[in-house]
Amino acid sequence: MFQPTIFVFSFLIPLVSAQCGPGAIYQASGSRCLNVFRTASSFQSAEEICATLSGHLVSIHNTIDNTFISSQAQKYFDGGVWLGAKTTAPDVTNPLNWYWTDGSNFDYQNYKVGQPSPQGDTACMQLQTGTAKWQTTNCTAQLPFICSYSSSVTPTCPSVTIPSHCPSGYTWYDETDFCYKNTVRFTSFNDARSSCQADGGDLASIHSANENQFLVDLSKAGITNKDKSHSDDVFIGLVYQNSKWQWTDGSAVNFLNWGDGEPNNMDKEWWTSLVADPHEDKNTENTRWNNVAQIDMRAFICKKAPLH
């Protein structure tokens, strides 16, 4: 019933958006809050993150909402974003085979030409923010996503990704409240570090298994150079200096995650990379750390304090 006045409401009555918490978008037509997450995740991981907000991946039931959600998401990024629709039947053309994770009816679709296309036994749905069109997608694909939750529920987590958390190119991680950026450019440690410092940060330090996993996901997300054997292998800020391992950003070394047999070659390998992808011969290093020599070239991850 609020549909015709969505925009008026959001401009004139700050209280309306306040009921969604900072960074969330109030969708008046559904009396619900939307949070846009720019971290690429699988459909299932995304739905689990939404559950921490007492919500679900967003569902869409009419053109007005479809346009609203698409245009809101486009403020955060271009391209595909998960919606909460899934089917576990191979026939994706039958709407009865689909369900929304929030339990609502699958009563509206806005497929792009040529869609829906089969994805095997299961399929999930993405929205293209530019065109507001839908397409079926392998549920294991990694995409940004939108959560929705009732505006009467106060989120239990101080969650939410909002643009002002981080400068352009950086992704916010709610658990650490830091911003991170993966740069897929093979370069020396010193050059990588200078680049991070020029952004007001430093090479990433890692202080928990969750932060490590977040950086693994982030470093996989930007990969374009699959023919390089170290394509998912990124410098982090751990260096061996004055006979001990230290983080370049000065934070405490309170978490270590070396691969089997690492660190080795301690006469010259005083720098560290996070091996986000198992090299064929180094599976034990998967998601763990390897110490490397200064001449080794890697992509790198910067970390900086949020803007807020």
Ligand X SMILES: *[C@@H]1O[C@H](CO)[C@@H](O)[C@H](O)[C@H]1NC(C)=O
Contacts with ligand X by CB under 6 A lie at: 119-120, 138, 140
Smallest separation (angstroms) from ligand X to the CB of 140: 4
- Hey, is 177 helix, strand or coil? coil
In the DSSP assignment, the letter for residue 225 is -
Smallest separation (angstroms) from ligand X to the CB of 40: 14
141 vs 184, beta carbon nearer ligand X? 141
Report DSSP letters for 27-86, one per residue.
Answer: EGGGTEEEEEEEEEE-HHHHHHHHHTTT-EE----SHHHHHHHHHHHHTT-SSEEEEEEE
Ranges of beta strands (E only) in the chain are 25-27, 32-41, 56-57, 80-87, 98-100, 123-128, 134-137, 143-150, 171-173, 178-187, 202-203, 233-241, 244-247, 271-275, 288-292, 298-304
Distance between CA atoms of 209 and 218, rounded to whole angstroms? Answer: 14
Q: Which residue matches tokens 């026939």?
A: 91
120 vs 250, beta carbon nearer ligand X? 120
Smallest separation (angstroms) from ligand X to the CB of 120: 3
Which residue, judged by CB position, is nearest to ligand X in the bound state?
Answer: 120
Smallest separation (angstroms) from ligand X to the CB of 122: 8
Smallest separation (angstroms) from ligand X to the CB of 43: 11
103 vs 120, beta carbon nearer ligand X? 120
3 vs 140, beta carbon nearer ligand X? 140
117 vs 229, beta carbon nearer ligand X? 117
